[in-house]
Structure 1
């Protein structure tokens, strides 16, 4: 119990509450018991006082004269019997019998003995012998004095009981106050202050401050709670420190990843913008050096088919090794990934090698995984950039060759034929001049030369206009509208109308150029040869096959002739060539309602590719 009392605050408080409650119960029980005794003492005092009165009543009755009926004796007998009964009642006997050695007991025995042995027989004798009454009065007076003493003893006994009640109540009140003080002291020092400290530390922990420590000395519940709170605070502090370290590590990694992504984005952006040359890789290389923390990086760039770099970029000033000065690059370009303290990352794309990225390391240094991944990614991106540049240059070469082929074909089909015709006419003019009457035959030849020159000049202007056609980035509709507007400005007698119903179809740049050229060629033929006043141009989907597009150019003129040579003159061969490039079908015919209709039908590259992909998926 004592060990539990020292280990448990709750047990202490419970024990104090039990003691206070027990003290209150005992105090109340004692008060009730003593109060009952005090009530009998008051009755004993009253009853004892009545004995004095009854003694005098017996004497007075004895002094009265005898009645005729003889009732005096009966009355005295009743009075004596009543006196004896009162004297022997328990309420008077009990206080006297509590202690046989007390004065109270001796006095009661004397009164009882005097009454039974002397006074009661004397009263009986005095009835018959009145002369004995004076002696009896003396005995009764002595008895009354003893009864007065008995009354005083009963009153003292009652006052003693009241004093006992007061003492018990006072002691109980004092003990209760002491117990309450002890309880308040225990509550204040062992509950309130530790709880206030624990509350303050809990609030500090809630604010993220783990420096506060609770008092964990002792064996009670609050000491155990303080020890547990300190342990929890230490655990939270360690966990918080670990979390902060992890957050810092994650933040550092995210910053590294962000910088890496930003660097790769700039490289990709330079690929899209088409940088002028590898020299523009130098700021990206310096940025890479800052991100991975390697001050010494070298980027050697060479052509896809070469074996010696034509550009050597460095991130720091240093003395080049002898092999770099002598341009002996086979060790770096074709060597292993790590050569002593150097790491090499080749810039390869397919079978083409565009150079190498070399990292100079500190002896014994090992790169982290993210650094190796970033270097590999940068090397791949640089290789892709250089490869795309080569592909763009090759595409430019092919486009230039194709454009030159187109120009040559256009010149051959138009201006070259006109010049050949003029050459024939000049030869004819020379032969005519050699004849005797050649001068008279010159006017028709000269007229044909003028006509041929005018035709050649007109075709030259048309070719120049055709070669100047370009897409300005606003789309096919804008280009066709602008081209028809230019033709409209050349004549006030013909009106051009455009119905463009394919705004939502994605055409490739090649398709847009060919559609524009076919439209321009057919509209120009209508302007020069149709002799009509209206040209309708429409570009729309086929109703039966929505994946196919039809271009129609129709005029309301005289209609196209049947002479094949005239057909070639109208540029049919050029339009046929462009239609074949788009994989479509071109048709030129007389319209039943009059005029000429040029129709071109093809499937855009977008739909062809989508159909091909669907077939590939079905096959798999």
Structure 2
């Protein structure tokens, strides 16, 4: 039973087998009944002919008694023999049941007994002797109804066989129809409806409705298929839900990461605004950090990197404006009410390898601590702040060193040029005073006055050159435009064109290196104007990898062989600039005449 319960195919196979069996039973019963009724008609006809022959024998016997005709006698004897043959015929015996207790068998035996022992001997006696007992017609009349009764029994026996065949066929037909009905009902309930549910659920699933289910429950194939489909749909629904949750989490993480990147971008952009106060740069970043993370307020303490002394306090949540606030239009740090709930504090140092700049303190609620990524974000911002403060400190120190170097250069140039001229003028004034006290001639006094005038003109010229040098700046980006302007200026002063060959890649030199190169070129060209008497002057800048070569050449009178140039203030200044750049300077006479000033150094900015 469990096998049929678990298999639709088995049930349908049983139904087909039952239908085939009913058809086979019907056919076999038809064959059996047909076989059993074979010869019944001949037997009934034969039995019916016995009745006619009975009357004919009686008629022939009576005719023979009346006429004594031998032919009639012969026909009567033949009729009696024929009757005896027919009543014992195998055709009639075959349609009589063999069972001794059968009514037809009893009736048939009674007819035979009566014919053999009573009626047949009497008729033969009459035919043989020509006379006999005169009651045989009455006896034949009594015998014929018995034959009729046997014929009726034979007919009823045949009819009963036919009725039995009809009954068997009717039962077979009924069972066949019943089996077909049961099979169709089973197909409808256990095949058609489950398939319809599976088809509908499959269509809904193909449309993305993963909540579709098959409600057919059974242990057969379609039941297993429906349960498997439900399990599959449930698993797919779980997977889809899990994917949606993961997508939402990833989206939230990407959104948070994007906000963090935007915050880092804003942080970098704001921190690099060195023209603004640190409060204007830092407070908006800290407020944005409070919106992105569960922290607040944020307090930043800035300290002197040399003395560790606090010089500035910045807080994102204050009830009153700080005393050191100079921008009264800014209200970024002011709020209406402070959060009185207990807080915990995350403290991060603002430092680099070289210096310590203060502390970054962020408060947060105990039940809402920042995540690891948020703490990492805060550390990154604090590191950027430390780097910015370190760069500003280094820039300030570099500016101070540059200022000190420029002041030293100015002092040295003033000492080597204008101070010497003024000392000479002072000596000439003292000489003039002595001459006036000695009351020398006017010609000598006029000579001293002329020397004073020449000294004053020379000092004034030197002063103008120094002012031009000190006011030098790079108004246009890059060294080449400044050199072109310088070459144009000295071409006008020399009265001849100065050739410029610029062979340095873009943005190779730093601004400090460009200033020193430009000052050195100007100093060299100024010496050409003062001393060379040249007709050809050229300025060349070459680059070989990271090595820079600056060459200023002229075809003038050259340097005197007997003059010591060690303490010449112009050469001293150029050597100092070469030393500042970490390079070498050489000033030598050219073989073809004139002077070559060559400076080589390695560029720090590549």
What is the match of residue 335 of structure 1?
Answer: none
The separation in 2 between residues aligned to 1:54 and 1:214, in whole angstroms, is: 77
The separation in 2 between residues aligned to 1:438 and 1:113, in whole angstroms, is: 217
What is the match of residue 572 of structure 1?
Answer: 571
What is the match of residue 6 of structure 2?
Answer: 10
The number of residue pairs the alignment matches comes to: 565
TM-score normalised by length of structure 1? 0.67
Mapping for residues 161-310 of structure 1, pairs under 5 Å:
162-164=165-167, 166-184=169-187, 186-187=189-190, 191=194, 207=209, 263=263, 266-274=266-274, 276-280=276-280, 281-305=282-306, 309-310=310-311
Instruction: Flag the 1:567–1:307 CA change in 2: closer, same or farther, 3 A.
Output: closer
The separation in 1 between residues aligned to 2:123 and 2:32, in whole angstroms, is: 35
Structure 1 runs not aligned, ≥5 long:
67-72, 321-338, 608-620
Residues 343, 363 of structure 2: 8 Å contact kept: no
The separation in 2 between residues aligned to 1:454 and 1:120, in whole angstroms, is: 199
C-alpha displacement at 1:30, in angstroms? 0.7
Residues 278, 311 of structure 1: 8 Å contact kept: no
| 1:592 correspondence with 2:591 | yes
The separation in 1 between residues aligned to 2:37 and 2:24, in whole angstroms, is: 20
| 1:415 correspondence with 2:435 | no
Instruction: Flag the 1:50–1:422 CA change in 2: closer, same or farther, 3 A.
Output: farther
What is the match of residue 70 of structure 1?
Answer: none
Q: Deviations over 1:500-538 (max 9, x none)?
A: 1x3178433333332232233334444554444443333
What SS does the aligned partner of 2:272 have? helix
What is the match of residue 524 of structure 2?
Answer: 522
Residues 87, 112 of structure 1: 8 Å contact kept: no
The separation in 1 between residues aligned to 2:129 and 2:542, in whole angstroms, is: 169
C-alpha displacement at 1:179, in angstroms? 0.8
The separation in 2 between residues aligned to 1:130 and 1:477, in whole angstroms, is: 179
Structure 2 runs not aligned, ≥5 long:
61-69, 71-76, 322-341
Residues 198, 226 of structure 1: 8 Å contact kept: no
Residues 350, 382 of structure 2: 8 Å contact kept: yes
Mapping for residues 65-144 of structure 1, pairs under 5 Å:
87=91, 92=95, 96-97=97-98, 105=105
The separation in 2 between residues aligned to 1:302 and 1:565, in whole angstroms, is: 54
Give the CA RMSD over aligned residues: 5.9
What is the match of residue 333 of structure 1?
Answer: none
Residues 47, 147 of structure 2: 8 Å contact kept: yes
Instruction: Flag the 1:145–1:27 CA change in 2: closer, same or farther, 3 A.
Output: same
Residues 279, 313 of structure 1: 8 Å contact kept: yes
**Considering only CA atoms, is the larger Rg found in Structure 1 or Structure 2?**
2
The separation in 2 between residues aligned to 1:157 and 1:37, in whole angstroms, is: 13
The separation in 2 between residues aligned to 1:270 and 1:445, in whole angstroms, is: 66
Q: Deviations over 1:128-175 (max 9, x none)?
A: 99999x99x999999997897688568636643652453144213321
TM-score normalised by length of structure 2? 0.68
| 1:466 correspondence with 2:476 | no
The separation in 1 between residues aligned to 2:238 and 2:587, in whole angstroms, is: 87
Residues 215, 223 of structure 1: 8 Å contact kept: no
C-alpha displacement at 1:598, in angstroms? 1.9
C-alpha displacement at 1:499, in angstroms? 3.7
Identify the match of residue 23 of structure 1 among 15, 18, 28.
18
What is the match of residue 44 of structure 1?
Answer: 39
**145-154 or 269-278, which moves further after superposition?**
145-154
Instruction: Flag the 1:431–1:37 CA change in 2: closer, same or farther, 3 A.
Output: same
What SS does the aligned partner of 2:39 have? helix
Residues 54, 83 of structure 1: 8 Å contact kept: no
**405-414 or 455-464, which moves further after superposition?**
455-464
What SS does the aligned partner of 2:539 have? strand
